[in-house]
Amino acid sequence: MSSLRKLFSFHPSFRITSSSLILPQQQGGFSFGQFCRSFSILDVASEETIPKCETPEDIVYDDDEILKIRSEFDAAKHMFHQIPQALKQMPKINPEGIYVNKNLRLDNIQVYGFDYDYTLAHYSANLQSLIYDLAKEHIVNELRYPESCMSFKYDPTFPIRGLYYDKLKGCLLKLDFFGSIEPDGCFFGRRKLSREEISEMYGTRHIGRDQARGLVGLMDFFCFSEACLLADIVQQFVDAKLQFDASYIYQDVKRAIQHVHQSGLVHRGILSDPQRYLLKNGQILRFLEMLKDKGKKLFLLTNSPYYFVDGGMRFMLEDSMGSRDSWRDLFDVVIAQANKPEFYTSEHPFRFYDVEKDRLAFSKVDKFQPNEIYYHGCLKSFLEITKWNGPEVIYFGDHLFSDLRGPSKAGWRTAAIIHELENEIQIQNKDSYRFHQAKFHIIQELLGKLHATAANKQRGEACNLLLKELNEERQLARSTMKNMFNSSFGATFLTDTGQESAFAYNIHQYADVYTSKPENFLLYPPEAWLHVPFDVKIMPHHVKVPSSLFKTR
């Protein structure tokens, strides 16, 4: 029952008023019996409209406990025909909310730092196709891959963020919170492997320490094109019956993705047609100006070159700047080509970048001048120059490893920007999703009862038949929920079994708070205290059902 409470207890979410931050009253979990009774109370359907599920007369039950579970399952099936009114009345989770893993007092934050790509800059879906096509051309033209690879096209329906690529076996994996392979989330090329094939290849679904060394995480928003290209190339070699080493394919794809960034190909492609790739965003300007008005210090720390950041910021903010001369006025320090994550551990010196002459100066940087641009550097020198203490600094970024792991270990507070969070919460808010989620966990509870009852007994025909029916109903609910997100890998934060994913684990590890975009902080007072809901086990944005909606009269 504790697992049911975990997944169906509604957590507090912040509601803003003119004077304070208010928490709604906490609600608890609910039992299967309460769920069943709530359907009858709400008149979901009458016996005249839904035929009864009769138990075959020739079935002889093992004992009274199995008969009771069968009865509960048959009663539940009567209710699986229509969404109950109670679910429709549930509060919705805010897609633009800030979700808290570690308590954060915004009034203690004096310094706000930002990554650029997919943090301050919002891109359209066209960018993934651009990166994919440029990398594909490099693979063929420079690395001599088969010419047939030029026919590849980016498939936006295939990858999700947070996958792992196995450099030894060539598989794309979705892992759960505990490091086990998602049964329906293992692809070799573009073909999904069966459970039997996963077992044959890995021996067990759980990834051990030795196997984990061969995995690489695909964690930022640029990884969509990388994951798709990896799978397409593996599939091409399989179809052509060519031998290949999966680690070489990863090295070549990684080299190609790095090339399109480091060579400036993707930067020039974006700036040549910003209307196609960049989204204008006046709200981010409002957020940054609000912070300045509150006396906060701001810095920009990005791996992108200055000309690219400057062109993008000018385009995104051109309709909102008003009398402001330059976006650079918003920041106390601007650092480009920072070479994260090495920035956090290296001792590279800062270099002053001469914008007019497009070159680096040779003079030593021992202080940051306003309205100037700096390249490279390291965290050690940054802290020595600014004297900004760790706990008073918060850094916003989209890449869990390159952007957030280093600052988290250095004592900064961290905010993960996960753009797909909005879409996933919108799906979770749908009545249809919540209904199938309720079905899934009710069946899970019945399966738990059945396994516990039959654990020390020889299973009879009735028990096996009931087990088969429950598993089929559970799989149907699983696949229905999965297809609402992504038909290949499902949700970013959840596995098909209802557990949090490995991506959620990394968010939990390295992000104090997470949200879909920085400007969501405009919805909260700058002095707000952001608290972890006391009943949350792992991810605070997941749908929980309040028990008050299922209490009998």
CA-to-CA distance for 86 and 36, rounded, in angstroms?
12
**521: closest CA among 355, 284, 180?**
284
Q: Residue 500: helix, strand or coil by DSSP? A: strand
**70: closest CA among 471, 457, 469, 472?**
469
Q: Out of 58, 62, 115, 232, which one is annotated catalytic?
A: 115
Q: Is 115 a catalytic residue?
A: yes
Q: What is the DSSP string of 130-197?
A: HHHHHHHHHHHHTT---GGGGG----TTS--TTEEEETTT-EEEEEBTTSBEEEEEEEETTEEPPHHH
User: What is the dihedral sign for C-alpha 63, 65, 67, 73?
Assistant: negative
Pair of tokens at residue 220: 């930022």
CA-to-CA distance for 458 and 464, rounded, in angstroms?
10
User: What is the dihedral sign for C-alpha 508, 509, 510, 513?
Assistant: positive
Question: Known binder of ligand: residue 398?
Answer: yes
Cis peptide before 146 (omega within 30 of 0): no
Question: Known binder of ligand: residue 63?
Answer: no
Question: Known binder of ligand: residue 115?
Answer: yes
Q: What is the DSSP string of 223-240?
A: HHHHHHHHHHHHHHHHHT
Strands 359-360 and 181-188: unpaired
CA-to-CA distance for 213 and 116, rounded, in angstroms?
30
Residue 542 near residue 493 (C-beta atoms within 8 A): yes
CA-to-CA distance for 393 and 106, rounded, in angstroms?
10
Q: Out of 62, 117, 176, 252, which one is annotated catalytic?
A: 117
DSSP run (H or E) holding 217: strand 215-218
CA-to-CA distance for 334 and 311, rounded, in angstroms?
15
CA-to-CA distance for 414 and 432, rounded, in angstroms?
34
Q: Is 117 a catalytic residue?
A: yes
- Annotated binding site for GMP, which residues? 117
Which residues belong to the active site?
Answer: 115, 117
- Annotated binding site for Mg(2+), which residues? 115, 398
- Annotated binding site, which residues? 115, 117, 398
